[in-house]
Amino acid sequence: MTTLLRISNVSKEYKMDGVVFQALDNVSLSIKKGEFVAIMGPSGSGKSTLMHIIGCLDRPTSGKVYIEEHDIFTADDAELAEIRNTHIGFVFQQFNLLRKTSAISNVELPLVYAKVSPKERKERARAMLIEVGLSEKMGNFPSQLSGGQQQRVAIARALVTKPSIILADEPTGNLDSKSGRDIMTIFQNLHDKGSTIVLVTHDEDVAHHAKRVVRIADGKIISDGKPSKRT
């Protein structure tokens, strides 16, 4: 299958108070179309940095990153914004919905930056909200929605641009277990329909939904394979 994401020999260094901190150390990884990958690791392991690089929010210090044909290393900020807009669908732990903005307007947001006409925006956002089961809540503000519903709005927002990769950062971290399971079911369904999903988590149960688990520690990939059996 087509390789969507190719990371080769990527290192990322941060300078904090004059001390160089190696967040990623010569990491290589490729993700194919349709894969459901979980990236796991303790905090400080570099998994967030890896996620930022996959999500085109950050550039590596050295190494190559390609999303489809786009070279992330040489892209400027405006080009990165466009790549994020068309290729990446973000789902955050904190939902990150705009307050005092209706669910449907929140879903429309990426399409606004994709220069889609208002009419088409509305139609596509509506379709996405129906798909995540929120047809009744389109006009509600985030404050009028439960955590699980808010996260579903966020998923609809991530899907609305038909991105190459859905990048979810601890999507169940702020939810109760029931809502968390519902959200994971949605991801499962999306994967069954052929979406490429990258899930960043430290929760083994959540990672178990994925078909491939990449474990990272001290900035290095320590294992890459099928999820371990549940105990």
Nearest to 210 by CA among 193, 225, 231: 225
Among all chains, which residue has been given the structure tokens 């859905």?
166
Which one of residues 22, 86, 140, 174 is an interface residue with other proteins (CB under 8 A)? 86
Instruction: Say whether residue 141 binds other proteins (CB under 8 A).
Output: no
Q: Which is nearer to other proteins, 83 or 213 (CB)?
A: 83
Closest distance of CB 93 from other proteins, Å: 10
Closest distance of CB 211 from other proteins, Å: 26
The one-letter amino acid code at 50 reads L
Q: Which is nearer to other proteins, 98 or 222 (CB)?
A: 98
Burial of 118 (0-12, 13-18, 19+ CB in 10 A): exposed
Instruction: Say whether residue 113 binds other proteins (CB under 8 A).
Output: yes
Contact status, residue 172 vs residue 203, Cβ threshold 8 Å: yes
Q: Which is nearer to other proteins, 117 or 231 (CB)?
A: 117
Which one of residues 14, 114, 176, 185 is an interface residue with other proteins (CB under 8 A)? 114
Instruction: Say whether residue 152 binds other proteins (CB under 8 A).
Output: no
Q: Which is nearer to other proteins, 101 or 189 (CB)?
A: 101
Residues in contact with 200: Cβ distance below 8 Å, sequence separation at least 6, in sequence order: 38, 39, 47, 48, 50, 51, 167, 168, 169, 170
Instruction: Say whether residue 209 binds other proteins (CB under 8 A).
Output: no
